[in-house]
Amino acid sequence: MTVKGPYFPIFFDLRGAKVLVVGAGMVAARKVAALLAHGADVTVVAKEFSAPVRRLVEAGSVRGIEGPFRPAHLAGMRLAFAATSDPQANRLVSREALRRNIPVNVSDSPRDCSFILPAVASGGEFTLAVSTGGKHPGAARAIREFLEEHRAEISVRLERGRRRKAIRAASGKVYIVGAGPGDPDLLTVRALGLLRSADIVLHDYLVPEEILSLSAPGAKKVCFARRGKTAGHGSALKQNAIHEAMARLAREGKSVVRLKSGDPLVFGRGGEEAEYLERAGVPFEIVPGITAAVGCAAAAGIPLTQRRLSSSVTLLAGHEADDKEDSGIDWRRLPTDGTLAVYMGVARAEGVARDLMEKGGFPPGTPAAVVENGTRKGQRVVRGRLADLPRLVEESGIRSPALLFVGKSAALAFAGRREREKPQERYDGSVAQGI
Ligand code: SAH
């Protein structure tokens, strides 16, 4: 029998556990010593006893039975070890133990074992077990020695892991958190820790379920600002409702995560929310996120800046606010030798292209790219020339959320992007595990 999942009886609480050791040579003596050190109640059966085992029997530390192994010796045992020099005798112990559902270990014969004895390295708060499945005990020991030599580094790593685990949303406080462009693996460690521990998550419609599913099971999730419902005064009212909800919930002692797509301070009204909380005297913190321009650039393989191609990157909004037709941008003053990343521009793609060409002096042939659902399910990238932008958007049926890139770098498309063929509805935890 071979063991797949390791099974480590030495870590159990063996105090008072009845354990049978068959054999009393040097190998058995080592096992007996380890078992005694863990407080086991040891019985040794052997035809002959080596001096160290004999001394233990005489001292009354272990019970000694002189003679051949008999199945009856297994009665009431929690563990069995076979360590005689006779493979047949060892196999008999293994068979009889297994028949009685007693875990058994046979020295130097992994196939007769139902558990293995790994080399163990333990530090203050960790135990590392190394095993080669009994095939190469020397190698296991060498790895253990290596681990011991690197104990300091291991401790540092453990400490780092603990700090991450220790990120918890405090009660009575609002965290204005950037959720990144949509791929849960692009959350920051801090965003993830806060999301997992908050009582309430107030989120935008753009934050996907994959990310929301990372919140605590009992957390209340409230979506503010629904798609297409933001025109006119509704937007301002909604923003006030968000402000009031954040402040009220924090005052009630809740830990509140205000989760916004991308970065909260980039076209996200995070600044207004921070201002309100500051005025209201409610404690808050801003946690940055990967903004859509950065996420979409990586997803589409577009360098935002590149020597000789683009020496600046400008983030701008196609329309300044959802309730304003025009943007407050001075199109004449945009750098034409850099990359433009246009947020909220897809619905006004024609106007944006016209403004850039007519007011901004961008040549019609300037490369342009549109990234729809960057890093999210159904990501699409279309490319062409600035003059063709409206047609590209129209023909491909691209919708919000989408980001427009304009500039020479938009013609580039590096490979080396993360493939996300089938994002899950619920997050499967690829990166989040272990944090
Ligand atoms: N605070 C956000 C921006 C919110 S404004 C950030 O920093 O990214 C909403 C606009 O962001 C959308 O209209 C779209 O232009 C852009 N956007 C957000 N997520 C996107 C995504 N995954 N792919 C493409 N564009 C996105």
What's the CA gap between 399 and 72, in Å, rounded? 77
Two structure tokens written together for 329: 């941008």
What's the CA gap between 153 and 341, in Å, rounded? 42
**Does pLDDT of 99 surpass 50?**
yes
Domain boundary among 290, 323, 350: 290
Q: Are residues 326 and 276 in the same domain?
A: no
Report DSSP state, residue 171.
T
The more confidently predicted of residues 10 and 140 is 140
Q: Are residues 63 and 82 in the same domain?
A: yes
Is 50 part of any domain?
Answer: yes
- Please enumerate in sequence order all residues whose Cβ is within 8 A of that of 78, keeping only pairs 6 or more positions apart, or say none: 17, 18, 19, 102, 103
Find out whether 388 and 404 touch, Cβ atoms under 8 Å.
Answer: no
Distance 239 CA to ligand 1 centre (A): 18
Domain boundary among 290, 316, 344: 290
Quick one: CA torsion of 8, 9, 12, 16, rounded to 10 degrees? -170
Q: Are residues 213 and 305 in the same domain?
A: no
Two structure tokens written together for 293: 């321009």
Q: Which of 90-99, 223-232, 353-362 has the lowest mean pLDDT?
A: 223-232
3-class DSSP state of 260: strand
Q: What is the CATH number of the domain that holds 106?
A: 3.40.50.720
Sign of CA dihedral 310, 312, 318, 322: positive
Q: Are residues 279 and 322 in the same domain?
A: no
Q: Are residues 236 and 352 in the same domain?
A: no
Is 431 part of any domain?
Answer: no
**What does the pLDDT look like over 4-58, one tens digit per residue?**
333 444 556 789 999 999 999 999 999 999 899 889 999 999 999 999 999 999 9
pLDDT of residue 8: 45
Q: Are residues 274 and 306 in the same domain?
A: no
pLDDT of residue 432: 38
Q: Are residues 328 and 404 in the same domain?
A: yes
* Candidates 47, 135, 229, 324; catalytic one: 229
3-state helix, strand, coil in the chain (%, to 5): 35, 20, 45
Round the CA-based radius of gyration of the chain to a whole number and report it: 33
Q: Are residues 301 and 394 in the same domain?
A: yes
Is 147 part of any domain?
Answer: no
Q: Are residues 305 and 412 in the same domain?
A: yes
pLDDT of residue 155: 78
Atom nearest to 379 CA in ligand 1: 23
**Average pLDDT over every residue of 117-143:** 71
Whole-structure pTM value: 0.67
User: Is residue 220 flagged as an active site residue?
Assistant: no
**Average pLDDT over every residue of 226-238:** 55
Find out whether 90 and 112 touch, Cβ atoms under 8 Å.
Answer: yes
pLDDT of residue 49: 95
Q: Are residues 305 and 279 in the same domain?
A: no
3-class DSSP state of 69: coil
Distance 174 CA to ligand 1 centre (A): 22
Is 163 part of any domain?
Answer: no
**Does pLDDT of 80 surpass 90?**
yes
Q: What are phi and psi of 402, to 5 degrees?
A: -145, 150
pLDDT of residue 425: 47
**What does the pLDDT look like over 302-360, one tens digit per residue?**
999 999 999 999 999 987 554 455 567 899 999 999 999 999 999 999 999 999 999 99
Distance 403 CA to ligand 1 centre (A): 7
pLDDT of residue 125: 63
* Candidates 204, 254, 260, 263; catalytic one: 204
pLDDT of residue 137: 66
Q: What is the CATH number of the domain that holds 344?
A: 3.30.950.10
Domain boundary among 77, 102, 117: 117
Give the domain range for residue 344: 293-426
Q: Place 257 in a pLDDT band, splitting at 50, 70 and 90.
A: very high
Q: Rounded to whole angstroms, what are the CA distances from 197 to 201, 238, 261, 299? A: 10, 26, 19, 29
What's the CA gap between 148 and 142, in Å, rounded? 10
Pocket of ligand 1 (CB under 6 A): 181-182, 206, 260-263, 266-268, 291-292, 296, 343-344, 371, 373-376, 400-403
Atom nearest to 374 CA in ligand 1: 23
Count of domains for the chain = 3
Q: What is the CATH number of the domain that holds 256?
A: 3.40.1010.10
**Does pLDDT of 177 surpass 60?**
yes
Q: Which of 18-22, 97-101, 336-340, 375-379 has the lowest mean pLDDT?
A: 375-379
Q: Place 131 in a pLDDT band, splitting at 50, 70 and 90.
A: confident
Distance 300 CA to ligand 1 centre (A): 15
User: Is residue 229 flagged as an active site residue?
Assistant: yes
Q: Place 147 in a pLDDT band, splitting at 50, 70 and 90.
A: confident
